[in-house]
A and B are shown apart, each in its own frame.
Chain A
Amino acid sequence: MIHPSHFAAVLLFALCASTVFGITMRDTPPKMVRYGAYCFALFVGSAIVLSWVMFLIAR
């Protein structure tokens, strides 16, 4: 069994999901790469922002 940290799990999830989103939602390879990177940044960025929001709420 593997035990990734929550953040490592977020990175793995974002990488795989962004790859599929990029390929399936755009027509050309450059647009696919751009959209995949955009999705990855949104996944990871929103996870970080929400983590900080929950941290501040819990204090």
Chain B
Amino acid sequence: MASTPTRPAAGKTQKGFVYLPLIAGWLVPGAGHFLLGKWARGALLAASILAMFILGLAMHGKLYTSASDILSLLSMLGDLGSGLLYFVGRAMGLGAQPTQTTVADYGKVFIVVAGLLNVIAAVDAHNLRTGRKNS
């Protein structure tokens, strides 16, 4: 008697470089899900993460560029989670102004959290790729 596979998505996606969705998802928000054919999820993730990052910059949030103390180091690691968005933002000189208003402080948090959410999304793409998450 034929048995039904418990992880159809996993069986379908076991070819190629296993870390590609993870790396692509980190570099470009939602790209990991796009690679796996999860278009709607990828679009929603990309929209959410991009919106948070852009709103953060629009509030004059800071992009951390140095790790002078432990809090700056942790914030920079969070910012780096945004992948290419962080590097493009830095290359364009965005988020370079010092935090002087309450709204700019919100913006700083938006940018850090956008990076952290992007890491979660990239790991989710990796889990879908490896079959750890079913669908």
Contacts and interface: CB of A to CB of B under 8 A. Distances in A.
Interface in A28-55: 28
Contacts, number: 63
A6 to B, nearest CB: 8
Interface residues of A, number: 18
Main secondary structure of the interface of A (DSSP, over half): helix
Interface size class of B (residues with CB under 8 A): 20 to 34
B74 interface: no
A57 B113 CA distance: 29
Contact of B135 (A3, A9, A28): A28
Interface of A: 1-4, 6, 9, 12-13, 15-17, 19-21, 23-24, 27-28
